[in-house]
Amino acid sequence: MILFSRETNKNILMKENYTTIIGMEVHVELKTESKMFCSCKNDPDALTPNTNICEVCTGQPGALPVPNKKAIEWAVLIGKALQCNIRELSKFDRKHYFYPDLGKAYQISQYDEPIAENGTFTLTFPTEENIRDIAHIGIERAHLEEDTAKLLHDTEGSTLVDFNRSSIPLVEIVTKPDFKTALEAKTFCQELQLLLRALEVSDADMEKGHMRCEANVSVQKEGTFEIVDGKVLPLGGAILNHKVEVKNINSFRAVERAILYEVERQSEMLEKGETWAQQTRGWDENTQTTVLQRIKETAADYRYFPEPDIPPFHPIKLAKKQSLPELPIAKRERFHEEYGFSYADAKFLTSSTYWANFAEAVMSELTDWLSNFPEIHGDTDEIREERQQKMARLAGGYLTSKLAGFLTERKKDIQTLKLSPENFAELIALVYTERINSTNAQKILIEMLDSGTDMDPTHIMEEKGYGQISDESKMIDVIDEVIKNYPKQVGDFRAGKDPIIQFLVGMVMKATEGSADPKVAEKLLREKLSE
Ligand SMILES: [Zn+2]
């Protein structure tokens, strides 16, 4: 029996009596100036093949690798952010295998002394449905290695090699098999991307291959194993099913889909009494299936040994000198707690440093402004809290939906925005005090965005006459006009059809091009119609 469908995207598709073990491996290209072991330019997206190459990164015999200090520092920083133990002593090792994208037939990687190990990463699910609200994911290790070259297959069946990517610094992050659902695995990759961007060590763009996620998935019979300190141990002499490594995953959505597909495939095999060898499969985006690539070698096949050309080094010394910035999860929590943003708004606003800084500057202005609000004196803490909440909801909506939406429509970026947080905050304050209505506030915002300069919203409001007419004497002529023009509706209202009042208010709003204060209009209409 299938307990939940693949479409729900929430939980692991699971047949009765089976359970799934999932671990992730993520490779991250660091955006250092130069490559890992030579001074060639680090530009994985370079358009002309084989331009950033030398004897080291093409793997010429006798060429000597010189490690990139910045790359080691950043790997340490990533390890710290993942709450890992940073090693006292670490070294590089040679990992041997033959493949055309690996010129020297070994990759310089790290085997038994990785820079960082035994960390944790905590995922929370305040708004999405997951089988648990909090998932603590163990981090097995984070180590540094070099990227391989890129193979290009042409239409005539030949394969060409581009060494631009060869020896770009790569951090491999290996988790413990602690994920319980595909959603958790996807969320981990999303959070990791935000973390890497906040640390400014990688662009972590999955589509461009800056961040490559692989999932290790195996379906097991329930009660046949236990996970102790990240190790899967069989219980009662059980023979466990082999893990399947899924590669070629190029989007967050694909992380989830690939895992769900693999769980379904393995479950069906078990139902038929079949087993499988340890293997690597590739996610095929077109067919939405995984395809067998190769039967997996074991670690011993790589014949690891210490890299003789690079001396061991002391990552802990670097770690002691480094401090971490506020990390995305902590920042999101603070935006929710301190400013009163909803979880969804806080998540969006902390997704990039630019948005976070802009939102923080806006909120700082508004909080300041609120605290100087004359009516506030004598207010209780509850009232102040309520006011802050209302302001956060308003500002959150204007930032995440209006501003972000208009920027997307105009293909503009918050990074190049001329609009200052001060003027944006002033616009929010105009809406908050009901000096303008939402329609006119959006017109002003569009004008501010399209002008290409930093414009004062109050100035635009006054110039365009967008301010709400709450002055009764200015509205009275319009009210008279509406009453004269809609005798049938006026008659209906007087005959007791109270909801018709909203129609008449609407006509006042239309006649004033949205600048009338609807509450004042309704009050005046009611007064006039009861005369
Ligand atoms: Zn080079």
Sheet order of strands, 134-146 included: 85-86, 116-124, 134-146, 169-175, 18-29, 211-221, 244-249, 279-284, 289-295
pLDDT at 6 over 50: no
What pLDDT score was predicted for residue 520?
Answer: 83
Distance 55 CA to ligand 1 centre (A): 6
Residues 362 and 423: beta-carbon distance below 8 Å: no
Distance 65 CA to ligand 1 centre (A): 9
DSSP letter, residue 24: E
Distance 133 CA to ligand 1 centre (A): 46
223-227, 459-463, 500-504: segment of lowest average pLDDT: 459-463
Distance 36 CA to ligand 1 centre (A): 9
Q: How confident is the model at residue 496 (pLDDT cuts 50, 70, 90)?
A: confident
Q: What is the mean pLDDT of the chain?
A: 89
Beta strands (DSSP E) in 208-264 are 211-221, 225-228, 231-234, 244-249
Geometric angle at alpha carbon 330, from 326 and 335, rounded to 5° = 100
State how far the Cα of 471 lies from the Cα of 523, in Å rounded to an integer.
Answer: 12
pLDDT higher for 526 or 417?
Answer: 526
Distance 51 CA to ligand 1 centre (A): 10
Structure confidence by residue, pLDDT tens digits, 235-275: 988 999 999 999 999 999 999 999 999 999 999 999 999 99
Distance 46 CA to ligand 1 centre (A): 14
Mapped onto helix, strand or coil, the DSSP state of residue 529 is helix
Distance 515 CA to ligand 1 centre (A): 65
State how far the Cα of 34 lies from the Cα of 41, in Å rounded to an integer.
Answer: 5
What pLDDT score was predicted for residue 450?
Answer: 87
> pTM (2 decimals)?
0.82
**Torsion 195-201-207-211 (CA) sign:** negative
Q: How confident is the model at residue 1 (pLDDT cuts 50, 70, 90)?
A: very low
State how far the Cα of 462 lies from the Cα of 277, in Å rounded to an integer.
Answer: 74
Size (the chain), residues: 531
Phi, psi of 305 (to 5 degrees): -150, 160
- Token reading at 235: 């219980």
Distance 143 CA to ligand 1 centre (A): 21
Distance 166 CA to ligand 1 centre (A): 8
Residues 174-213 as b or e (16 or more Cβ within 10 Å = b): bbbbbbbbbbbbbbbbbbbbbbbbbbebbbbebeeebbbb
Phi, psi of 28 (to 5 degrees): -125, 125
> Strand 106-109 vs strand 93-96: parallel, antiparallel, or unpaired?
antiparallel
Distance 359 CA to ligand 1 centre (A): 42
State how far the Cα of 26 lies from the Cα of 213, in Å rounded to an integer.
Answer: 5
- Averaged pLDDT for residues 32-36: 98
State how far the Cα of 176 lies from the Cα of 117, in Å rounded to an integer.
Answer: 11
- Averaged pLDDT for residues 420-443: 88
Residues 276 and 266: beta-carbon distance below 8 Å: yes
Distance 79 CA to ligand 1 centre (A): 26
Q: How confident is the model at residue 308 (pLDDT cuts 50, 70, 90)?
A: very high
What pLDDT score was predicted for residue 7?
Answer: 42
Q: How confident is the model at residue 15 (pLDDT cuts 50, 70, 90)?
A: low
pLDDT higher for 343 or 37?
Answer: 37
What pLDDT score was predicted for residue 236?
Answer: 87
Distance 86 CA to ligand 1 centre (A): 28
DSSP 251-273: SHHHHHHHHHHHHHHHHHHHHTT
How much of the chain, in percent, has pLDDT values that exceed 90? Answer: 62
> 233, 304, 242: which is closest to 269 by C-alpha?
242
Residues 477 and 498: beta-carbon distance below 8 Å: no
Distance 167 CA to ligand 1 centre (A): 7
State how far the Cα of 483 lies from the Cα of 486, in Å rounded to an integer.
Answer: 6
Residues 289 and 279: beta-carbon distance below 8 Å: no
DSSP letter, residue 401: I
Q: Which residues, including other chains, have CB under 8 Å from residue 481's CB and lie 6 or more apart?
A: 511
> Strand 169-175 vs strand 305-306: parallel, antiparallel, or unpaired?
unpaired
Q: How confident is the model at residue 475 (pLDDT cuts 50, 70, 90)?
A: confident
What pLDDT score was predicted for residue 498?
Answer: 87
Q: How confident is the model at residue 352 (pLDDT cuts 50, 70, 90)?
A: confident
Distance 91 CA to ligand 1 centre (A): 21
What pLDDT score was predicted for residue 410?
Answer: 86
Structure confidence by residue, pLDDT tens digits, 356-398: 999 999 999 998 888 766 554 566 778 878 888 888 899 999 9
What pLDDT score was predicted for residue 5?
Answer: 40
Distance 47 CA to ligand 1 centre (A): 17
Phi, psi of 109 (to 5 degrees): -140, -160
Geometric angle at alpha carbon 76, from 70 and 82, rounded to 5° = 140
pLDDT at 473 over 70: yes
What pLDDT score was predicted for residue 350?
Answer: 93
72-76, 360-364, 373-377, 423-427: segment of lowest average pLDDT: 373-377
